Each structure stands twice: as C-alpha cells, then as structure tokens.
Amino acid sequence: MLRRISYYLFSLVFVAGMVACGGKSHDHLDHDAEDAGHGAKGAHADEIILPVEKARAAGVKVEEIKPGMFHGVIHTSGKVMSASCDETAVVATISGRVQYKNHVSEGLKVAAGTTLFSITSAGMQIADGDPVQRARIDYERAERDYTRAKILIKDKIISEKDLAVAKAEYEAAKLTYTSMQRTRSAGGVAVTAPRGGYVKQCMVNGGDYVEAGQTLAVITQNKHLYLRAEIPERHFNELNKIRCAKFRTSYSKRLYDITDMGGHIQSYGRSAEVNNSYIPIIFEFNNTGDVVQGSYAEIYLITQDRPNVISLPLTALTEEQGIRFVYIQVDAEGYRKQEVTLGESDGERVEILSGVKKGDRVVTKGAVQVRLASAANAIPAHNHNH
C-alpha cells in the first residue's frame, strides 16, 4: 500500500514538471514568433499600404518611367501687353472744349461709329472763331467765287487755270463743311469711335481744352496680345534657340501655350536695356478671351529638344522641409517614398536628375493621398509586458 502511494506521488510530481516545462516552452515560442514578426516588419518598414479600391477612389494614377525627349527651358518673368496692330487712337477733329458722351470709361465696349465725345467752342474766345461757322463761311465764299469764275471764263476774262483753282477751293471747302455738319450736334462736334472694341485709356477729362488732332482715347479690340519676356543677358547666346513659350498669369493657375494660341516670336532685342541687364523678347498671340492685358506672368521659354531625359508631371512631386519626393509603386497595394533631384521645368513636366530610373512606376496623380496613407500606416512602438 505504501509503495502504491509513493508511485502516485511520483507520477503527480512528473506530470506537474512536464506542464511547467511545456508552458515555459510555449512562452519562448511566442517570443520567438513575435521577434520574427518584428523582423519581417522591419524589412518593409518604409512600405506604404494603400488598397487598390481606395487608390482607385482617390484617383491615383501611375506612370512608368521611360526616358524620352525633353527641351531646354529658360525660366523668367514678363508682362502681357496690347498688340500695336490692335489699337486705334480717337482724335479730336476740331479745337475746343471736350464733353463726355455715353459715360465713357476704361473697359467700356463700343461699336464702330459710337459717339464718345463732343467738342464745342461755344463761349470761348478763340481767335479764329467757331470752327463750324468758319467752315460754313469759307464754303459759301468758295461757292460764290466758283460761280463767278464759270461766268467769266465764257468771256475769256479769266484763264482755264484760274477756273480750276476756284473749283478746287470750292470742292475742298464743301468737303470740310459737309463733314463738320454731319458730325455736328446740339452740344458741338461729335467724335465717334473709328472701330469697335474696348476703351483702353481715356486721355482727357470733361471740360479739357484740346487741339485738333490731339488723342482723346485709345480703343483696343483685345484680339491680339503681346507677351514680353525679360531674359537675363547671360542667356543671350540662346535667343536664337527659343522656339515658343508657356506662361502662367498671376491671377490664374492655368498654363497657356503660345503655340496653341496661334502665337509666334515677334521680335527680340539685340542688346540689354538701359539701367538693367535684361534682353526683351516679344511673342504675339491670339487672345482666347481670358488673358488680361497688362497682367504680369511667369514665363517658360522653350529651347532645343534633348533626348533620353527622364521627366515627370509636376503633380507627381511632394515636398517636405524643402526636399522633393515622389512615390514609387512596388506592388499592387504597396508604395515607397523616394527623394529626387530636379532639373529644368516647363511648367507642366520637370526633369528628374536622380532618384528614379527607367522602369520605375511613379504616382503622377493622387500623390497627396498616398502621402496621407503613409501617415495612417504609422504604428506606435510595441512594449513587451510579461
């Protein structure tokens, strides 16, 4: 009996020892598995996970790197100006005091023949008197002289030459008087727009005295514009390589291409301007209706093509503390942030000097969404508590 009890006690102690060892061994296995898991994560610590469905919903687009043609770019600034062929001056037809008609102001749209001003000499002490009255008197005098000359020529009292002179004076006086009568109104002589367009500038104020031939206003049709770019003189040798230009105005994010607007190089300077070291180059282009004359512009002057250049859309870039990055797709759901070095940019695409290579698949749209996913994937450090 004593021997049986001893056997049971020995068996109980053995089983307890095995259970304890099994539990300890299990703990070690757990720790080993956890350490292995941490090692696996460490191998892909820089990978950003963005599921395919979320990437599609965020509009993420990927482009495979293929070296190709790119062009040299001179990045500068300039101004949009009205084309000289598009402007017409409105001038005073007689001397006198100006009165506004139709509330003329800059930017006003006018049609050809629209009355803009009237000029009157009423109440003014002018040496030659009222121009219209003077024209009428000259016309009536010339008419009488011509009538008398036609009678005298029959009696051979005057020569054919005298008759021709009288006729010429009569026709000139008639033309002047008829022209003034046609434009005369109750307020004086009307001054009309020579062609349709927009009032670019008013040169006089109501009540100003003007001389015949003086400019009263400038009308522009705003159909053609000039883009004046200022180029540093160090680029002088590249002027003959410039083919076209792209520009972005200060009030819009849209990038305009001179070529798409029927533009071409109008002229360029052969020397630097006085008091600065810049050379002007002027492009003429058709206004699409949304380019504001007089606005300042950021300009990209396109020069010769260069082969085997890696370039990406500007939308592919992100920035952190002044450093530029792109996101490379490593698998269907995985992305990796990559620092890049930039070269020249034409406002749409930018040359990549280093950081990516041929065959890399780079995010060109939705890079911000991938960047946000990288922040969401960040996992706090894990502590072992046993």
Q: Kindly write down the DSSP assignment for every residue of 145-210, as one continuous string.
A: HHHHHHHHHHTTSS-HHHHHHHHHHHHHHHHHHHHHHHHEETTEEEEE-SS-EEEEEE---TT-EE
Write down the pLDDT at residue 129.
59
How confident is the model over 201-247, as pLDDT tens digits?
888 888 888 888 899 999 888 788 999 999 998 888 888 899 999 99
Write down the pLDDT at residue 138.
85
pLDDT value at 248 more than 70: yes
Q: Do 219 and 88 touch, CB atoms closer than 8 A?
A: yes
Helix (H, G, I), strand (E, B) or coil at 237: helix
pLDDT value at 5 more than 60: no
pLDDT value at 8 more than 50: no
* Range with lowest mean pLDDT among 128-137, 168-177, 252-261: 128-137
State the pLDDT confidence band at 255, using cuts at 50, 70 and 90: very high
* DSSP class of 375: H
* Of residues 375 and 350, more confidently modeled: 350
**Mean pLDDT confidence for 63-76:** 94
**Mean pLDDT confidence for 16-36:** 43
Q: Kindly write down the DSSP assignment for every residue of 3-70, as one continuous string.
A: HHHHHHHHHHHHHHHHHHHHHHHHHHHHHHHHHHHHHHHHHTTTEEE--HHHHHHTT-EEEE---EEE
Q: In percent, how much of the chain has pLDDT > 90?
A: 34
Phi-psi region of 58 (alpha: psi -120 to 50; beta: other; left: phi over 0): alpha
How confident is the model over 117-142, as pLDDT tens digits?
888 876 665 556 566 677 778 888 98
pLDDT value at 382 more than 60: no
pLDDT value at 24 more than 50: no
Write down the pLDDT at residue 228.
94
Write down the pLDDT at residue 378.
53
A 10 A CB-CB count for 385 gives: 4
Measured CA to CA, the distance from residue 258 to residue 245 in angstroms comes to 6
Measured CA to CA, the distance from residue 77 to residue 230 in angstroms comes to 6
Cβ neighbors of 173 (< 8 A, separation 6 or more) are 135, 138, 139, 141, 142, 143
User: What letters, b where the CB count within 10 A reaches 16 and e where it falls short, cover 354-374?
Assistant: ebbeeebbbbbebbebbbebb
Write down the pLDDT at residue 281.
94
Phi-psi region of 68 (alpha: psi -120 to 50; beta: other; left: phi over 0): beta
Write down the pLDDT at residue 119.
85
**Mean pLDDT confidence for 280-291:** 87
Give whichever of 77-91, 170-184, 314-328 has the largest mean pLDDT: 314-328
3-state SS, one letter per residue, for 274-318: CCCCEEEEEEEEECCCCCCCCCEEEEEEEEEEEEEECEEEHHHCE
**Mean pLDDT confidence for 40-65:** 79
Measured CA to CA, the distance from residue 68 to residue 58 in angstroms comes to 29
State the pLDDT confidence band at 105, using cuts at 50, 70 and 90: confident
* Range with lowest mean pLDDT among 120-124, 153-157, 199-203, 251-255: 120-124
Calculate the average pLDDT of the chain.
Answer: 81
CA 160 to chain centre: 68
* Range with lowest mean pLDDT among 123-132, 164-173, 245-254, 275-284: 123-132
* Of residues 281 and 124, more confidently modeled: 281
Write down the pLDDT at residue 184.
62
The gap between the terminal CA atoms of the chain, to the nearest Å, is 44
How confident is the model over 51-63, as pLDDT tens digits?
889 888 889 999 9
How confident is the model over 325-340, as pLDDT tens digits?
999 999 988 999 999 9
State the pLDDT confidence band at 28, using cuts at 50, 70 and 90: very low
Nearest to residue 190, comparing CAs of 168, 170, 169, 216? 216
The structure's pTM equals 0.66
In the structure encoding, which two tokens stand for residue 284, read together? 């003429």
* Of residues 341 and 4, more confidently modeled: 341
Q: Do 356 and 338 touch, CB atoms closer than 8 A?
A: yes
State the pLDDT confidence band at 82, using cuts at 50, 70 and 90: confident
**Mean pLDDT confidence for 140-147:** 89
